[in-house]
Structure formats: C-alpha cells, structure tokens
Amino acid sequence: MKRSKKNFKNAHILIIGSGIIGKFNALELSKQGFKITIADPQKQKNSSSAALGLLIGKMYQKSKGRSWELRKTSNELWPKWIKFLKQYNSNLHIEKPLIQLTTEQKNFEKLSHFISHHPNRGLKVLERDSTIIQNISKIFNMDNLKGIISNEDGRIDPITLLKTINIYLKVKKINFIKEKVIKIRKFNNQWISTCSNKVDIKSDVIILCNSLDALKLIDLNFHNIKLKPVLGQAIEISLNKEEINLLTLPKHFSINGTNFVRTDKNKIIIGSTDEYDIKPKENTFEELTDFLENKPQWLNKNNISDKWFGIRSRPEGEASPILKSLEKGLILCTGFYKNGILLAPACSNWISEEIENHLL
C-alpha cells in the first residue's frame, strides 16, 4: 500500500555523517519538510572542512558520461543554493574566476583544443602577455606559463559554507546527535541505529554519508562496495609585510595540477596531493612545491604557518561518487574523493528524487 502524502512527509530520515554531503542532504530534505536527524561525533574535523573549495564545473574536460552529468547538475544548482543560503549568511558567495595554468606545451594544446570544441562553456585561453600570467610568473619565478580562464567557475569557502548550512539547520531545529553510529539493523520496517552511547535511533530511512566508515555499517556479504582512503594535504604560507605582496595574484589558480588559494595580501594556501594513504607526509612542503623548478625565495618551509589534511574515500571497481539505494530504507552516498564540495548539490538533488522510492 502506498503511503499517503501526509505520512510521506512525516517520515523520519537519519543522516549518518555531517560533512558537506550529509549536511547538503539534510538541507535539501528538510526544505522538503521531512523530519531529519543527523548523527556525527564531530562537527568540524572532516575532509569537508579541510577542502579548498574550488568548484571545477565548466572547466571539467569531458562533455559526456555520469561524471559530467553530475557536474552539469551542480553547475545549474549552485546559483540557486547560494541565493537561498544568502538569507542565512550574506557573506556566502562563489568567488570567480578560476584559472588553470600549465608549463607543459602538450597539456596547453589539449586545453586549447577543448576550448575551441566547446564554445558554450565560457572558457578562454589566457594570452602569454596577459596581466594575470605576467603577475603569477613574476611571483613564482616562472617564464613558461600558459593557461585558460573560466569566468563561470570559482571557489566557495568550505568553512563559511558549512557554517551557513549549520545556521539553516539550527533555524529549522534539525536534531543533531553528537555520537558515532556503530550498528544499523532493520526491525519491523523501521531502521534502528545504535550510537556509541548505546542510544538507539529509529528511522524510516538511513542515508549513509560517512565516507570510508560507511563500510563498517553495511553487510559486505550482500553489498559489493569497496573504498580506498585518499589523503589530501594543504599548507598555508604566511609572509612578512616586506617580503612580497601577493595582492597582484588572482584569488585562486592551479599550476600543473597544484591548487593555490590566496586568502590575504600575505597568505596563500597550497594543496592538495592525492595519495593512497591515511597519514600525512613529513615532506608535505616538498610534495606540494617541488614541481617548481626555481622556487622563489618566499616559498620556503620557514614560512609555513599552518598545515592540515583530510582523508577522502575513493570507490574501487566503480566510478566516484557512489549514490546507491542498497535496500528499502537504506541509501549510500559516499566515495567523494575529489570535488565533493562541487558535487554536493547534484548529490542532494539525486537524493530528493530517490527518497520517494523508499517511502511510497
């Protein structure tokens, strides 16, 4: 028998994990009127708060396949979400543009070729004598930079984003349980999730948004899901006033795949590497900067003012991310090893459509 519309909205949904994926799902579903509980032992220390927040949407160099479709959906949804979330924090915005640079002629030719075949993406080749390239070359001691610019891609500050969603969830009185879920089971068409403090939470649906640890909660004899940890690292460099003025640099750009985010006139963040590991490396600085042949003087270890990392989950044997209904009332949203911030709206959009199959 189908649930009535009233019962449908009365359904209780437990979201396990409060990174950007869990939070965005909570945002979308609570806007639809569902009763939501989020469980996570920690609110702040996860890979979402370690992220740089670059939204590589239009710059993504594919134009078909699931990965592109998810990006396309996120590209369309981000402006609507920003407009909505601005009601809770007027500082939230996407800082544009995004710049991708390379020293490799072959890579540059690939980028230029992509641009000429996709005129509707709003991408442009940066001229060698453009102010942007000249300024970056000067500060980084480089003379062979080439690249492209996307005026429609940009960066959102992940911490501001997470905090803004928190404000909304608080206003909506969403129940937040600061506990780890250690076991889930089905009983009489309901799901029972046991927390580490032995408290049980009853719900009609569970959405697993707890990255690698989702594997600990599902029966791997029935569900063939494999995830690998992927380490992402970042360092912050702070300079003395006299050393160099970073204000001539764009706010964010990448050189040969390494991302740079200028956060102040004397501060720049550098990230991230993709290592199949769970511990940060001793030589993070070298890993992030050794691609520069003639490192400028200001870019040295003594200027590191902060350093952090995050562990993401990468699916093995299937594409990232994993958005799957495992059984009635159990949904898996994991495997966001890259671009989880970018893809969060596309993920919550998928959830909002999928949830009906679990409740009707």
Ligand X SMILES: Cc1cc2nc3c(=O)[nH]c(=O)nc-3n(C[C@H](O)[C@H](O)[C@H](O)COP(=O)(O)OP(=O)(O)OC[C@H]3O[C@@H](n4cnc5c(N)ncnc54)[C@H](O)[C@@H]3O)c2cc1C
What is the contact surface with ligand X in residues (CB under 6 A)?
16-22, 39-42, 46-48, 50-54, 180-181, 209-211, 213, 232-234, 271-272, 310, 312, 336, 338-342
Lookup: tokens for 69: 């479709």
Residue 111 or 195: the one with the smaller Cβ distance to ligand X is 195
Cα separation, 5 vs 185, in Å, equals 26
H helix or E strand, kind and range, residue 330: strand 330-334
Write down the least CB distance from residue 286 to ligand X, Å.
Answer: 16
- Residue 275's Cβ-count burial label (10 Å; 0-12, 13-18, 19+) is middle
Residue closer to ligand X by CB (options 20, 244) is 20
- Between 153 and 244, whose beta carbon lies closer to ligand X? 153
Q: Which DSSP string do the residues of 165-224 spell out, in sequence order? A: HHHHHHHTT-EEE-S-EEEEEEETTEEEEEETTS-EEEESEEEE--GGGGGGTS-TTT--
Cβ at position 26, least distance to ligand X in Å: 11
CB 235 within 8 A of CB 269: yes
Minimal distance, residue 217 CB to ligand X, in Å: 6
Minimum distance of ligand X from residue 171's CB (angstroms): 21
Of 10 and 194, nearer to ligand X (C-beta) is 194
Residue 191's nearest CA partner among 40, 39, 32 is 39
Quick one: 298 or 309, whose CB is closer to ligand X?
Answer: 309
Closest to ligand X by CB, 336 or 350: 336
Closest CB 20 distance from ligand X, rounded Å? 5
Give the shortest CB-179-to-ligand X separation in angstroms.
7
Which residue from 221, 344, 228, 227 is spatially nearest to 275, judged by alpha carbons? 228
Nearest-approach distance from CB 218 to ligand X, in angstroms: 11
Q: Residue 303 or residue 348: which is nearer to ligand X going by CB?
A: 348
Strand intervals (E) in 18-172 = 35-39, 54-55, 98-102, 123-126, 146-150, 154-155
Which strands form 190-195's sheet, in the order they lie side by side?
Answer: 181-187, 190-195, 200-203
Smallest distance, ligand X to C-beta of residue 311, A:
7
Count the neighbouring beta carbons within 10 Å of the beta carbon of residue 327: 12
Residue with tokens 């460099």: 237
- Report the C-alpha gap between 319 and 118 in whole angstroms: 24
Please, which residue, 177 or 246, has the CB nearer to ligand X? 177
Closest CA to 235 of 308, 313, 160: 308
